[in-house]
Chain A
Amino acid sequence: MNKPLLQVENLGVCFHTDNGTVNAVNGVSFQLEAGETLGIVGESGSGKSVTNLAIMGLIPSPPGEITSGEVRFRGEDLLTMDSQHIREIRGNKIAMIFQDPMTALNPFLTVEEQLTEVTQLHLGHSRREARAHAIDMLEKVGIPAASRRIDEYPHQFSGGMRQRVMIAMALSCKPDILIADEPTTALDVTIQAQILELMSELQHQEGTAIIFITHDLGVVANTCHRVMVMYAGKPVEKATTREIFASPHHPYSLGLLNSALRWDESHGGMLRAIPGQPPDLTQLGDGCAFAPRCEYCVDACETAVPPLISVDKNQTREHACIQDLPSIRQTEVDV
């Protein structure tokens, strides 16, 4: 087997704030193959965005600090790379789309100015080439009258259109990896569907690998091949999309599934929120971070952090829970 496109090893990020050190990411490892879509799921504050900002080298420092780990892109560690070199990768090989298209585009510059500067920088386009390419990209993401609208400012576009502009900008240099940080959260439901469709369409055309950050399991079900569930800065379960929907192995994954609307909900019960609050990341205890909120918690959960263990032989499926959740649930149903 080839080396994976992107390999994250034991990544740790913390932020030094007035209220103590926030351990936002504590030992995250995963890998991404060319052309696949990985979903990273978790509540706000679970460290999913920070993980990806760290990959891009965009953690503001101070207050942020990368405490451990490696991020290997085609074998090269991005974390130790010099800034000149990493700038050549950013926006070129790895591009990013952000959550809120209303604020992610610069309101003072025209769409053209914002689109062309990427290709001028990375592909060495002249102004004319860059403009033509930008118009191409805008047409590709479905913006009507692109050659006219390219001279407008972001505030003249609707939310969905702006996210299309963002996607055009991110894909301008045909990146190997696209990191999409909740790209549809701030959009209307109908627009969400269009954007998701656009993204998977473009992925088919260009063969881009996508890391999809979201808390919306519906989006995951539609778009992702594999899923990593994060809690308190750690992955608690990794599985294929199909597997995780069929039988979650970590109580937190189960909690997320139960608290989301599902069309195939058979027992017609109520949606169940996960009780309690996410843990205070400035003071993580000895045990499993989810233990205080977990209905399957036993004494052992509070004394040691459960390691990520693999369930099946080829190690595509891992979870960090000392209990065997599927069999417990099986007995519950039996009783």
Chain B
Amino acid sequence: MSDVSDNAELPNQPVPDTGKRDLEYYARILEEARSIKGTSLWQDAWKQLKRNRAAMVSLVFLILLAVLAFFTPLLPLQSPIYQDIEQRQLSAPSFSAIPLYPESIFENDEQLPKLSNESEIASRKQEILVTTLWNNPGTVSQWLIKLRLSVFGTWSIPSLCGTDNLGRDVLSRVFWGARVSIIVGIVATFVSLLIGVSYGAISGFMGGKVDNIMMRIVDVIYSVPFIFVVIFMITIVKEDQISAVLEKWGIDQIKVFFIMIGMIYWLTMARVVRGQVISLKNEQFVEAARTIGASPTRIIFKHLIPNVMGIVIVYLTLTIPAVMRFEAFLSFLGLGVEAPDVSWGLLVNEGIQVITPIKTYGWLVLYPGLTLALTLFALSFLGDGLRDALDPKMKNK
């Protein structure tokens, strides 16, 4: 095969002869060079990615998932937190529709009887709904929930995935859990990216002693079972006194969580970026660009960034699933996301908790577990596809 794919050898350098003939000769070579069209790395990568069916299906799935997760408040789902232990505890998946809330939900409110104006009553009712049926959502979500209430009214999708031991709708909890899982995945990955890229780039650029020391530190951290240390740290941070102090600084539990996870996954990123920076520094095409008088900005933007970007993106798509898995892992152990927030790992844990030798309630584990697995599956397929597309060394493998 090698024989076929090789390019032609470069023409031998001509020995200067008569001036005119030379000029013609060079003009012809130049013209020939211009006529050879290159495809940019990104075009080529996209072309290659499009041919990879598994990666494209995964991409579509993930985009769909992200859109659905974003618009979850708008969807006619049941409440993710409203409990109905008496009538709906651990009921199996069913297709019979139930109302979003019982009328009794307004009974205990003190303000409501005092109001007489129709529109005031309506808005008060809406307020009660938003706070009891959805856990204190953000501004955008509140707006979306109000829109949902005015579009779908009290109609909601039946409990297709059953309910849990507090009578909450599993389908809705899976959707709301998606929001947390995805956000943790993205933000924590971003944290690791930030630390990893800057650490790696600094180490690579500085070189010499600084590089040596910085990489030794990474080596030491690598050889520590870091996850155990992080679990240790999380338990410390969760101590009431400590979290009160952190709260004062404006760092709530979930932010701590982002930072903790980000701290684990920056190591490999740092190594990869450092390696790339060092090899690029000495790369011949950078030398070549310099010798033909390319400006430093051109070198950085045309040669360095695209070359680092590719590998960073590839590594990024591999980090997101790792981070999501780790979040689920911690939440499953009871060290991660805490109620009333939901995440997929937490949901699986809740499902496992209620298993008894007599009854298993498989839907509690199945649906969140399946969604999580599918998402991770899609992410790793996309990551593989991107790696094949963006890493030229992996081509044709």
Binding site for B on A (CB under 8 A): 15, 18, 22, 24, 43-50, 60, 63-64, 215, 259, 269-278, 281
Is the Cβ of B3 less than 8 Å from the Cβ of A45? yes
- A interface footprint on B6-44 (CB within 8 Å = 1, 0 otherwise): 111101101111000000000010001000100000000
A59's closest neighbor in chain B, by CB? B1
Is the Cβ of A271 less than 8 Å from the Cβ of B12? yes
Is the Cβ of A43 less than 8 Å from the Cβ of B4? no
B12's closest neighbor in chain A, by CB? A271
A48's closest neighbor in chain B, by CB? B3
Residues in B whose Cβ lies below 8 Å from that of A278 = 8
**Given that A44-B9, A273-B11 are contacting pairs, would A15 and B4 also be in contact in the complex, using a CB cutoff of 8 Å?**
yes
Is the Cβ of B14 less than 8 Å from the Cβ of A270? yes
- The distance from the CB of A70 to the nearest CB of chain B, in whole angstroms, is 22
Selected from B5, B8, B14, the residue in CB contact (under 8 A) with A277 is B8
Residues in B whose Cβ lies below 8 Å from that of A259 = 11-12
Residues in B whose Cβ lies below 8 Å from that of A46 = 3
Residues in B whose Cβ lies below 8 Å from that of A44 = 3, 6-9
Number of B interface residues at 8 Å Cβ cutoff, please give it.
19
Q: In the assembly, what is the distance between CA of A270 and CA of B25, in Å?
A: 11
Q: In the assembly, what is the distance between CA of A63 and CA of B396, in Å?
A: 12
**Top 5 closest pairs, chain A to chain B, by CB:** A273-B11, A44-B6, A49-B3, A270-B15, A270-B14
Residues in A whose Cβ lies below 8 Å from that of B8 = 43-45, 277-278
Residues in B whose Cβ lies below 8 Å from that of A18 = 51
Q: In the assembly, what is the distance between CA of A281 and CA of B4, in Å?
A: 8
15 additional contacts (CB under 8 A) given A49-B2, A272-B14: A24-B3, A44-B6, A44-B7, A45-B3, A46-B3, A50-B3, A60-B1, A259-B12, A270-B14, A270-B16, A270-B17, A271-B14, A274-B11, A277-B8, A278-B8
Selected from B3, B4, B5, B32, the residue in CB contact (under 8 A) with A276 is B32
Q: In the assembly, what is the distance between CA of A60 and CA of B4, in Å?
A: 13
Residues in B whose Cβ lies below 8 Å from that of A271 = 12, 14-15
Q: In the assembly, what is the distance between CA of A179 and CA of B359, in Å?
A: 73
A281's closest neighbor in chain B, by CB? B4
27 A-B residue pairs with Cβ-Cβ distance under 8 Å, sorted by A, are A24-B4, A43-B9, A44-B8, A44-B9, A45-B3, A45-B4, A45-B5, A46-B3, A48-B3, A49-B2, A50-B3, A63-B1, A64-B1, A215-B9, A259-B12, A270-B16, A270-B17, A271-B12, A271-B14, A271-B15, A273-B11, A273-B12, A275-B11, A275-B28, A277-B7, A277-B8, A277-B32
- The distance from the CB of B251 to the nearest CB of chain A, in whole angstroms, is 51
- The distance from the CB of A235 to the nearest CB of chain B, in whole angstroms, is 16
Q: In the assembly, what is the distance between CA of A195 and CA of B283, in Å?
A: 33
Q: In the assembly, what is the distance between CA of A271 and CA of B16, in Å?
A: 10
Is the Cβ of A15 less than 8 Å from the Cβ of B3? no
Residues in B whose Cβ lies below 8 Å from that of A22 = 4
A43's closest neighbor in chain B, by CB? B8
Residues in B whose Cβ lies below 8 Å from that of A49 = 2-3
A51's closest neighbor in chain B, by CB? B3
Is the Cβ of A273 less than 8 Å from the Cβ of B14? yes
Is the Cβ of B1 less than 8 Å from the Cβ of A15? yes
Residues in B whose Cβ lies below 8 Å from that of A215 = 9
A46's closest neighbor in chain B, by CB? B3
- The distance from the CB of B77 to the nearest CB of chain A, in whole angstroms, is 44
Residues in B whose Cβ lies below 8 Å from that of A43 = 8-9
B6's closest neighbor in chain A, by CB? A44
Residues in B whose Cβ lies below 8 Å from that of A64 = 1
Q: In the assembly, what is the distance between CA of A164 and CA of B279, in Å?
A: 34
- The distance from the CB of B11 to the nearest CB of chain A, in whole angstroms, is 3
Residue with the greatest number of chain A CB neighbours at <10 A, chosen from B2, B3, B16: B3
- A interface footprint on B115-140 (CB within 8 Å = 1, 0 otherwise): 00000000000000000000000000
Residues in A whose Cβ lies below 8 Å from that of B4 = 15, 22, 24, 45, 50, 281
- The distance from the CB of B1 to the nearest CB of chain A, in whole angstroms, is 7
Residues in A whose Cβ lies below 8 Å from that of B2 = 49
- The distance from the CB of A107 to the nearest CB of chain B, in whole angstroms, is 19
